[in-house]
């Protein structure tokens, strides 16, 4: 299988042009990796159009629920893509500029207005670059099945980045789901929820959360939550 990538240098050049209002062709700058048939990205193109419809219809100042809904669409669109491709930053750079530039510019419009755009398209940091963090957000809660969870919280960008994606919780879907549902239903403020996340992290040395079922995960979250409820 061959798949398209962009080097960091090519991404930086093209993104600068796009930030200035140009629409350069991406294809001449693409590096194809692998052998055999080209990776079919039809589902990604369709997802990009659906995500465009989502944000164009959005009228709230809180943009994070749209990112949550979009994360499910992206996750499903990439279901057929092998892990070795998803681990390639160049692939995410290609997707960001070829299909999702307008969405990323909308999502991070304040940063883009200051010229701080590379953080969100370069894929150097999965918790900051828009597409990788969206994918990880949906994967953390198995958003192809639990489609409501990635968008269940308002004003929650720090919750997802700091307490799910960046840490081990994001690798144990039942635990991540229980955490999100609890925060949705019995929301804690910033400091208490940070303490809950730390407490969850500490349990890793005593339990094997990757084998937890949903009911066990809920019981663990409930127990910790009660300690930090205001």
Per-residue burial over 62-90, b if 16 or more Cβ lie within 10 Å, else e, is: ebbbbbbbbbbbbbbbbeebeeebeebbb
pLDDT of residue 230: 58
Which residue ranges make up each domain of the chain? 2-144, 167-230
C-alpha closest to that of 165 among 121, 202, 129: 129
pLDDT of residue 83: 96
Q: Which two tokens stand for residue 230?
A: 């205001």
**Mean pLDDT score across all residues of the chain:** 94
Q: Please, which pLDDT band fits residue 205 given cuts at 50, 70 and 90?
A: confident
Give the CA-trace dihedral at 218, 190, 56, 73, to 10 degrees: -30
Cβ distance 64 to 39 under 8 Å?
Answer: no
Distance, CA of 173 to CA of 210 (rounded, Å): 8
pLDDT digits (tens, 9 = 90+) for 28-71: 999 999 999 999 999 999 999 999 999 999 999 999 999 999 99
pLDDT digits (tens, 9 = 90+) for 66-125: 999 999 999 999 999 999 999 999 999 999 999 999 999 999 999 999 999 999 999 999
pLDDT digits (tens, 9 = 90+) for 119-157: 999 999 999 999 999 999 999 999 999 999 999 999 998
Reply yes or no on whether the pLDDT at 193 is more than 80. yes
- Average pLDDT of span 190-218: 88
Reply yes or no on whether the pLDDT at 160 is more than 80. yes
Full-model pTM: 0.94
**Least confident piece of the model among 3-7, 36-40, 203-207, 224-228:** 203-207
Q: Please, which pLDDT band fits residue 204 given cuts at 50, 70 and 90?
A: confident
């Amino acid at each position: 299988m061959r798949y398209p990538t962009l080097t960091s240098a090519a991404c930086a050049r093209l993104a600068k042009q796009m930030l200035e209002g140009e629409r350069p062709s991406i294809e001449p700058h693409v590096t194809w990796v692998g052998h055999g048939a080209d990776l079919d990205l039809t589902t990604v193109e369709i997802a990009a159009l659906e995500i465009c419809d989502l944000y164009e219809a959005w009228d709230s100042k809180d943009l994070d629920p749209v990112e949550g809904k979009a994360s499910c669409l992206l996750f499903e669109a990439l279901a057929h893509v092998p892990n070795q491709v998803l681990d390639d930053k160049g692939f995410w750079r290609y997707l960001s500029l070829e299909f999702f530039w307008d969405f990323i510019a909308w999502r991070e419009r304040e940063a883009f207005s200051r010229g701080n755009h590379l953080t969100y398209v370069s894929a150097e940091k999965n918790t900051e670059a828009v597409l990788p963090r969206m994918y990880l957000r949906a994967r953390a809660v198995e958003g192809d099945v639990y489609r409501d969870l990635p968008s269940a919280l308002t004003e929650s960008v720090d919750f997802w980045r700091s307490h799910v994606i960046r840490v081990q919780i994001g690798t144990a879907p039942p635990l991540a789901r229980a955490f999100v549902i609890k925060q949705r239903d019995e929301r804690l403020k910033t400091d208490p929820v940070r303490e809950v996340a730390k407490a969850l992290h500490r349990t890793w040395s005593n339990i094997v959360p990757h084998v937890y079922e949903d009911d066990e995960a809920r019981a663990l979250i409930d127990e910790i939550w009660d300690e930090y409820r205001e």
